[in-house]
């Protein structure tokens, strides 16, 4: 599908550098073979880079995709196959919406979930609690979850009530200040240590710092501009922390919450029902304990005639010839694939060389960088048949099922949210036509199943959201739009796997 990128972006601190060099085929010397895959497999983070096709036809639109699959193995000593890597200590700050719309089950379920979170944390972890409505209240700064401090935290949670408006920006800013405060704590003198902690685990070494922002409504006090709020979240990623955003119910801005999570290097969660608070908090804690690398970033240096159009929905920052994409973190034992949708001019036969590609990230408080062991090459050829035979079936199949279908869901969600049934169905029809045509060349059974079953189910969801009395339609459309958008987000950022 031919779609514009959803968000222009932020990239940051650490880089995956890719130099793409344009080489006319007529240049002197023997023509190198076309390679569609490359990798590095040493170090704490592994990468496999694969083109979905290694050739494009002269005169075509020149689009192709590069799949970057990251894997963070659980490292075990060779002589200890039963070794289980230790969980990391966590500094966690929860920023909770306590505006009037949170009254009733929402605030009750949030308090219950926070109480469970306190009980799940260990004496080597820190937890800070911030809430916001018209103003902001710091219930506790980041404190070690010792036995005495558990009682402090439980009392603070029990006293959180709801009322007022939604000053989300002030809550986010204060939460980040509290997280920053944790970085300056003396491990021997943590805040609110009310007991002898000589038996507590040592606090030195790598600590994972994470902020979870919860909202059930629209930011309507203080800073409300999405770009300004995203800049706040970005400051966390610049420090090697992460911001996850949680939208509750049907009245929050899912696009803002997605933007905050992307900018902050975390995850956006959608909770239609507040009963799911507890599972979500515990899932975030479990993921944080197992983080293998943070601030993973991709830098591309694009030559004349080549452009990057999308990056799995992540925002893209361009600075002169440098293009940067921040994709956040990865948990040990997890795999994530990011698809870069690109375009190369195909006016004549040519070869594009992708070399010096490296991944940069933070691990154990140090910035690390790794490079591919071989370059990638894309060729523009006269023969359409030759180009059509250059698909890498597995890479193309995954790109369709995660990137293309996820992008379709996001487009359908926008149309449903705007009340445009015809636009939603037209987008589905276009996806079906284009994917069917391309799959006639590749022959993927899984893609055919997607066309036969998943696309039909998506169509049914659209039809259902526009059925019944008008007042009911409005509620159905809100629910469908948020659910479908979140599914697309999880697919494109590849966060559907265990741990995210």
Instruction: Based on the fold, state whether residues 173 and 61 are members of the same structural domain.
Output: no
Residues 258 and 356 in one domain: no
Q: How far apart are CA 55 and CA 346, in angstroms?
A: 10
Residue 79 inside a domain? The answer is no
The sign of the torsion formed by the CA atoms of 249, 253, 258, 264 equals negative
**What sign does the CA torsion over 92, 225, 166, 257 have?**
negative
Eight-state DSSP code of residue 250: S
* Residue 338 and residue 455 in one domain: no
d(CA 478, CA 437): 33
pLDDT > 70 in the chain, percent: 85
Residue 478 lies in a domain: yes
CB atoms within 10 A of CB 476: 17
Please tell me the predicted confidence (pLDDT) of residue 365. 81
> Looking at the structure, do residues 420 and 382 belong to the same domain, yes or no?
no
Higher pLDDT, 372 or 484: 484
Judge whether 7 lies within some domain: no
236, 268, 292: which is the final residue of a domain? 292
In the chain, how many domains are there?
A: 3
State residue 303's pLDDT score. Answer: 73
pLDDT digits (tens, 9 = 90+) for 157-167: 999 999 999 99
> Is the residue at 3 inside a domain?
no
Share of residues in the chain with pLDDT > 90 (%) = 69
Reported pTM:
0.86
Give the confidence band of 191 by pLDDT, cuts at 50, 70, 90. very low
Read off the pLDDT of residues 383-414 as tens digits, 9 standing for 90 and up.
Answer: 999 999 999 999 999 999 999 999 999 999 99
Domain coverage including residue 477: 394-493
CATH number assigned to the domain comprising residue 353: 2.60.40
| Structure confidence at residue 497 (pLDDT) | 54
Please tell me whether residues 110 and 258 are part of one structural domain.
yes
Q: Among the three residues 272, 292, 312, which one is the final residue of a domain in this structure?
A: 292
| Same domain, residue pair 141 and 288 | yes
**Same domain, yes or no, for 350 and 324?**
yes
Q: For residue 273, what are its two tokens?
A: 């029902």
465-483, pLDDT tens digit by residue? Answer: 999 998 899 999 999 999 9
Let me know whether 377 and 464 are in one domain.
Answer: no
In a shared domain, residues 385 and 266: no
**Cα 400 off chain centre by:** 18
What is the average pLDDT value for the chain, to the nearest integer?
A: 86
> Does residue 304 or residue 128 have the better pLDDT?
128
Query: What's the token pair of residue 465?
Result: 């959201």
Going by pLDDT thresholds of 50, 70 and 90, the confidence category of residue 189 is very low
9 Ramachandran zone, left/alpha/beta (phi>0; psi -120 to 50): beta
Q: Is the pLDDT of residue 150 over 90?
A: yes
Output the pLDDT for position 500. Answer: 62
Closest CA to 192 of 159, 160, 158, 145: 145
Residues 235 and 361 occupy one common structural domain? no
Q: Is residue 238, in this structure, part of any structural domain at all?
A: yes
Residue at which a domain ends, from 245, 270, 292: 292
What is residue 24's predicted lDDT score, i.e. its pLDDT?
40
Q: What is the mean pLDDT of residues 299-317?
A: 88
CA distance 144 to 127: 7
Pick from 113, 102, 247, 94: nearest CA to 161: 102
For residue 279, give every residue at least 6 positions away whose Cβ sits within 8 Å of its Cβ, in sequence order, or none. none
Same domain, yes or no: 160 and 131: yes
Same domain, 48 and 95: no
pLDDT higher than threshold 50 for residue 32: no
């Amino acid at each position: 599908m031919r779609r514009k990128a959803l968000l222009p972006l932020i990239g940051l601190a650490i880089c995956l550098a890719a130099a793409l060099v344009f080489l006319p085929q007529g240049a002197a010397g023997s023509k190198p073979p076309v390679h569609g895959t490359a990798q590095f497999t040493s170090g704490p983070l592994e990468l496999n880079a694969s083109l979905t096709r290694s050739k494009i036809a002269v005169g075509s639109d020149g689009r192709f995709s590069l799949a970057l699959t990251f894997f963070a193995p659980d490292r075990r000593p060779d002589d200890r196959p039963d070794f289980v890597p230790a969980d990391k200590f966590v500094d966690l700050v929860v920023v909770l919406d306590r505006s009037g719309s949170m009254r009733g089950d929402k605030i009750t379920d949030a308090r219950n979930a926070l109480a469970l979170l306190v009980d799940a944390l260990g004496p080597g972890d820190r937890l800070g609690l911030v809430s916001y409505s018209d103003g902001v209240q710091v219930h506790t700064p980041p404190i070690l979850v010792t036995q005495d401090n558990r009682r402090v935290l439980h009392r603070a949670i029990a006293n959180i009530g709801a009322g007022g408006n939604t000053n989300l920006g002030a809550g986010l800013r204060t939460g980040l200040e509290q997280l920053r405060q944790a970085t300056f704590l003396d491990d021997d003198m943590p805040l609110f240590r009310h007991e002898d902690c000589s038996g507590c685990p040592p606090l030195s070494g790598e600590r994972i710092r994470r902020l979870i922002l919860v909202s059930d409504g629209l930011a309507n006090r203080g800073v409300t501009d999405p770009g300004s709020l995203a800049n706040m979240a970005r400051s966390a990623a610049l420090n090697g922390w992460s911001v996850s955003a949680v939208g509750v119910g049907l009245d929050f801005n899912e696009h803002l919450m997605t933007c905050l999570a992307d900018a902050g290097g975390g995850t956006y969660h959608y909770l239609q029902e507040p009963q799911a608070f507890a599972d979500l908090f515990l899932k975030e804690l479990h993921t944080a304990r197992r983080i293998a690398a943070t601030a993973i970033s991709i830098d591309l240096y694009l030559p004349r005639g080549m452009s990057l159009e999308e990056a799995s929905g992540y925002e893209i920052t361009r600075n002169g010839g440098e293009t940067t994409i921040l994709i956040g973190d990865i948990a040990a034992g997890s795999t994530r694939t990011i698809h870069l949708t690109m375009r190369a001019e195909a006016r004549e036969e040519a070869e594009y060389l992708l070399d010096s590609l490296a991944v940069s990230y933070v691990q154990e408080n140090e910035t690390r960088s790794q490079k591919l062991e071989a370059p990638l090459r894309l060729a523009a050829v006269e023969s359409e048949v030759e180009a059509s035979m250059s698909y890498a079936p597995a890479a193309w199949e995954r790109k369709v099922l995660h990137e293309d279908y996820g992008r379709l869901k996001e487009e359908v969600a926008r149309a449903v949210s705007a009340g445009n049934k015809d636009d939603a169905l037209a987008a589905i029809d276009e996806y079906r036509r284009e994917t069917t045509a391309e799959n006639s060349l590749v022959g993927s059974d899984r893609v055919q199943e997607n066309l036969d079953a998943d696309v039909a189910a998506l169509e049914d969801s659209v039809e259902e959201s526009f059925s019944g009395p008008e007042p009911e339609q409005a509620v159905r459309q809100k629910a469908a739009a948020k659910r479908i958008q979140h599914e697309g987000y999880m697919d494109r950022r590849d966060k559907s796997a265990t741990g995210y």
